[in-house]
Amino acid sequence: MDSFLPSPDCDTISKTYNGQIDSHLIQKTNEGYREILPNLPRGKGWMTEHLVQYQGVWLTPNFALKGLMWVHDHFKPRSTDIFLATFPKTGTTWLKALTFATVNRTRYGFADHPLLTTVPHGCLPFLEACPNDLDGFPSPRLLSTHIPYTLLPNSMTVNQSCRFAYICRDPKDVLVSKWLFMNKLRPKELAPISLEEAFELFCQGISHYGPYWDHVLGYWKASLETPEKVLFLKYEELKEEPSVVVKRLGEFLGHPFSLEELSKGVVAEIVKLCSFENLSNLEVNKSSVLKLSTQIIIDNRHFFRKGKVGDGKSYLTDEMIKRINEITSEKLLGSGLVFGS
Ligand code: A3P
């Protein structure tokens, strides 16, 4: 604990998303991007007009694909880096808050904590947004990514001992959460996507960073092979026993809770601070925005909807539930990973 250097504060982090990536650095990425883009398969987009398929993964061209290429071209991982890796709508916001609060717990008091005035996404740089100045951040850096494990550069997975905390969620809840979220962000000139259409696309794997099941399995397998590097969590378990999961998270991140902290209720304070009820009712999360790039500006309130387990089923027909459960069983067969019904 003593050797721990705190991450930069949230203000510093939000300044990294200024949409003005160092021009000579991005040039190489832009050239590579322009070269491959015309030849990539296209599918219907949820938030953008279309997605492109790159090495088996569906990505928004201008943001996620470019971001991925930038990571390969320019990102210099450190062995002390900690990544929160997620598929969108599986609990990224929540895990970001919990991780930030856990790692920085000796730095901030709960009464004037940065999470009371900053959306969790403003507390951890998002790698694909090509944040500036990462090289200047003190170690250990807390970063987040949606990149599937299989598409990460070797420099992050093999050559360095970076750690990844990954969270997954029942695919039915992910689908519905994503459908509602993406329609809110979809430009007005594009007609909203119907649930039927979103369902078909999701089942075919055509959704940001999809197929979902491949994303989950990539991190699942890595967590079995290198448990010291990849912590695999489920949204449902976090909902059921948040304190147990936060203790595991602390241990995994190299910041285990001491007996004194446990007896003082520090874990319970973190759980309360990061709870859906608390975060979703904060002024910053009701009225401010997150600027990820010059084009991507998201109302913070969209990151908080219901935060419930099983809500997806109330939108889907019995037939849809049956089909998605069948796909899930088929995809996860033999992996040892299961989701509830
Ligand atoms: P719902 O749409 O089902 O409500 P992500 O953060 O990956 O974008 O995921 C968003 C989902 O997590 C949304 O699910 C959102 O409501 C839920 N969520 C956000 N903050 C949460 C929190 N503190 N606790 C539990 N769920 C949370």
Express each pLDDT in 181-229 by its tens digit.
999 989 889 999 999 999 999 999 999 999 999 999 999 999 999 999 9
Task: Give the residue whose CA is nearest to atom 20 of ligand 1.
Answer: 94
Which two tokens mark 63? 């943001």
From the CB of 91, is ligand 1 less than 6 Å away? yes
> 89 alpha carbon to ligand 1 midpoint, in Å?
7
- pLDDT, position 13: 54
Mention the CATH class of domain 39-332.
Answer: alpha beta
The answer to whether residues 46 and 88 touch, using CB atoms and an 8 Å cutoff, is no
Which two tokens mark 326? 């069948």
From the CB of 279, is ligand 1 less than 6 Å away? yes
Please tell me whether residue 51 adopts helix, strand or coil conformation.
strand
- pLDDT, position 4: 31
Active site positions, annotated: 146
Average of per-residue pLDDT across 136-145: 91
- pLDDT, position 19: 46
From the CB of 276, is ligand 1 less than 6 Å away? yes
pLDDT: is 13 or 270 the higher one?
270
Q: In what order do the strands lie in the sheet with 50-54?
A: 42-44, 50-54, 57-59
Pocket-testing residue among 174, 207, 215, 276, ligand 1, by greatest number of atoms within 8 A of Cβ: 276
pLDDT beyond 80 at 3: no
Express each pLDDT in 43-87 by its tens digit.
999 998 999 999 999 999 988 999 999 999 989 999 999 999 999
Express each pLDDT in 161-186 by its tens digit.
899 999 999 999 999 999 999 999 89
Separation CA 273–CA 104 (nearest Å): 13
> 214 alpha carbon to ligand 1 midpoint, in Å?
21
> 187 alpha carbon to ligand 1 midpoint, in Å?
22
From the CB of 285, is ligand 1 less than 6 Å away? no
Express each pLDDT in 17-47 by its tens digit.
544 455 666 788 889 999 999 999 999 999 9
Alpha-carbon distances, residue 259 vs 3, 255, 256, 262, 273 (angstroms)? 20, 13, 10, 5, 20
- pLDDT, position 5: 33
Among 1-10, 70-79, 255-264, 281-290, which range has the highest average pLDDT? Answer: 255-264
Please tell me whether residue 52 adopts helix, strand or coil conformation.
strand
pLDDT: is 292 or 205 the higher one?
205
- pLDDT, position 133: 77
pLDDT beyond 50 at 275: yes
